[in-house]
Structure 1
Amino acid sequence: MEAIRTYQMILRKVLQLMKYTHIVFDVDGTLLDSEDAVLLSFQKMLFTIQEKMYPLEELRFSLGIPGHDALARMKVEPLEDAFRIWGEYEKEFSYSIKPFKEIPSTLSQLKRNGIQMGVITSRTREEYAAVVPPFGLDHYFEHILCAEDSPGHKPDPAPMLRYMELSGAGKENVLYIGDSAYDCRCAHGAGVDFALALWGCRAPEGISPEYALEKPEDVLSL
């Protein structure tokens, strides 16, 4: 018992010295390499409904924003039917979704270090359940904020403000890791530091993170 108390005391002192005690992750482009599945299913859905084949580059804007917003931008109607079809097609391409290399080991090490972790994603809960738990990553996260869980969506700061409300974390102790300008604006709007996941980011120009991480394990150095 004495050894356990000593360990707990040391851990508390270490955590007091650490700036970031909460690390929050985006899903697509950060935890998971899902770009092909998202874009190919979006392309197929648009061809089914609008009978037009869009180049994938024209659809890249859809990465990192709520699906309903992407559909509205493409003027797809009826919206709910399109959203359902898109989800069905994404399942066809789910074979291409996988965690980025080093993500599982990095999450495991962060947990051993006593870091509390969470997720903020533009996916709905149903969409999240289809892609993250199958890889055995779900148990690392104490708070998972999906599209339904806050009044606003990225780039609005509402999801991050909701995370801090649920976790009790101060903004100075939270780091958000994502791959897009939407993620950065969400973090900064809530007064939280942002780390850019270069391993999943296709367009880093114009994004102003506190940190630019080349690979997932780089977060351990923070």
Structure 2
Amino acid sequence: MYQAIVFDVDGTILDTEKAVLHSLQSVLAEEDQFYTHEELRFALGIPGEKAIQRLNIQNEEEILTKWMEREVQMASEVQLFDGIEAVLAQIPESGVVTSKNSYEMKKGFYLFGIGDYFQAIVCASDTVNHKPHPDPLLKAIELLARNPQEVLYVGDSPYDMACAHSAGVDFGLALWGAKSEKGFEKAEHVFRQPSEILTHVAIQNE
């Protein structure tokens, strides 16, 4: 049993894939650069500036700003995954480690009214190094006053798994977001639906 569960946000708590990829695709198209969603999937799970850098675009800051603004405009395409809030409500100690920055969290996370479920929230603005580096997760563990062995990190991307293992933390794959187990053979757990997480967390009895 784990004493605390730490969650990724995009693809784990929030179904953001369509909004993230659609907004990036449309902004790039305005620059006469055309990509399919599949070609842009690498952008899921890493900070926006890192994704833009991989595209070798000259006006990186301008494109990043447009992307973030466009993604906010597509907020109606984002929703909580089915069953995730009910699970969050039952976990006594939990946290968030996400590649969203503080602006994205304000516009695309806190509006869902789930922030109070978490005792630690670490976003890309809170650490110098980002996933897959272990620093964000280690910061969350410190805020929770836990040891890595007491924590499970749940996410949907290879960056999440690498971050967990680098921090000495077990990893649980959110299959509802990842959609495939390929590449996640080293995951300690594979969860097909959020409720399965509850079988691995120490829930306090009143």
Counterpart mapping for 1:42-121 below 5 A: 42-48=24-30, 50-110=31-91, 115-121=92-98
Q: Distance in 2 between matches of 1:142 and 1:80?
A: 33
Unpaired runs of at least 5, structure 2: 201-206
Please give the alpha-carbon distance, in whole angstroms, between the structure 2 residues aligned to 1:204 and 1:55.
Answer: 22
Q: Give the one of 26, 32, 40 matched to 2:14.
A: 32
Which residue of structure 2 aligns with residue 210 of structure 1? 188
Contact 2:8–2:97 (CA under 8 A) maintained in structure 1 = yes
> What count of residue pairs does the alignment treat as equivalent?
199
Runs (5+) with no aligned partner, structure 1: 1-18
In terms of mean alpha carbon deviation, does 134-143 or 32-41 score higher? 134-143
For the 8 Å contact 1:180–1:204, the answer to whether it is kept is no
Is this contact kept in 2: 1:196–1:211, CA < 8 A? yes
1:77-113 Cα offsets, whole Å, 9 max, x none, are 3222111100111122211100000011111111xxx
Moved more, 211-220 or 143-152: 143-152
User: What TM-score results when the alignment is normalised by the length of structure 1?
Assistant: 0.87
Aligned residue for 1:10?
A: none
The range that moved more, 75-84 or 118-127, is 75-84
Identity of counterpart residues, as a percentage? 43
Measured in 2, the distance between the counterparts of 1:211 and 1:164 equals 19
Q: Which moved more, 1:191-200 or 1:158-167?
A: 158-167
Q: Higher relative contact order at CA 8 Å, sep ≥6: structure 1 or structure 2?
A: 2
Distance 1:92 1:161 in 2: 33
Q: d(CA) in 2 for partners of 1:43 and 1:28? A: 17
2:204 maps to none
Equivalent residue letter for 2:5: I
Pair 1:182-2:165 in alignment: no
Of structures 1 and 2, the larger Rg is shown by 1
2:144 is aligned with 1:162: no
Q: Which runs of 4+ in 1 moved over 6 A?
A: none
CA distance in 1, matches of 2:43, 2:87: 27
Is contact 1:180–1:203 with CA below 8 Å preserved after alignment? no
Q: 2:103 aligns with which of 118, 123, 126?
A: 126
Inter-partner Cα distance in structure 2 for 1:75 and 1:127 = 23
Root-mean-square deviation (CA), in Å?
1.1
Q: Larger % of helix: which?
A: 1
Match of 1:21 in 2: 3
**Counterpart pick for 2:116 among 112, 136, 139:** 139
What is the DSSP-based 3-state SS (H/G/I as helix, E as strand, rest coil) of the residue aligned with 2:19? helix
